[in-house]
Amino acid sequence: MIAKINHIGIAVSSIEDALALYADVLGLTVGTIEVVEDQKTRTAIIPVGDSKIELLEATDAKSPIARHIERRGEGLHHMAFEVTDIDDSLRLLQEKGIRLIDEQPRKGVENTTIAFLHPKATGGVLLELVQG
């Protein structure tokens, strides 16, 4: 089911401010910056080897990222696993009783299909499935 770690999502107040570390200090190159309207989020994808870092910035005070930063501050938001068949993966997880945030896949950044697993079913970690 899981092919690899696709990316690590990091909630930030400002992508530009965060890039001072990731690009200017660490020397990483930003791949794409994209707005996900339905999530009220702006993302910056930074490739690192076979995986990526996804910086997540709220575009609205009521977005999930804004609420996350308000409650927990900036930092780790989620870990994403790449899967070969997201529909089959969700079906298998449901059969095993795993609580899902997304029972049906939805559009993600970089033309991917995504779905989130509920952190109460995953030891407190927000997990995302990605099919690209």
List, as one string, the DSSP characters of 61-97: TTSHHHHHHHHH-SEEEEEEEEES-HHHHHHHHHHTT
Cα 77 to chain centroid, rounded: 7
Task: Count structural domains, the chain.
Answer: 1
Tens digit of pLDDT at every position of the chain (132 positions): 899 999 999 999 999 999 999 999 999 999 999 999 999 999 999 999 999 999 999 999 999 999 999 999 999 999 999 999 999 999 999 999 999 999 999 999 999 999 999 999 999 999 999 998
Distances, alpha carbon 80 to alpha carbons 4, 24, 60, 91, in Å: 9, 25, 23, 18
Domain that holds residue 95: 2-131
Residue 96 is part of a domain; what is its CATH number? 3.10.180.10
The pTM assigned to this predicted structure is 0.94
Write out pLDDT tens, residues 74-92.
Answer: 999 999 999 999 999 999 9
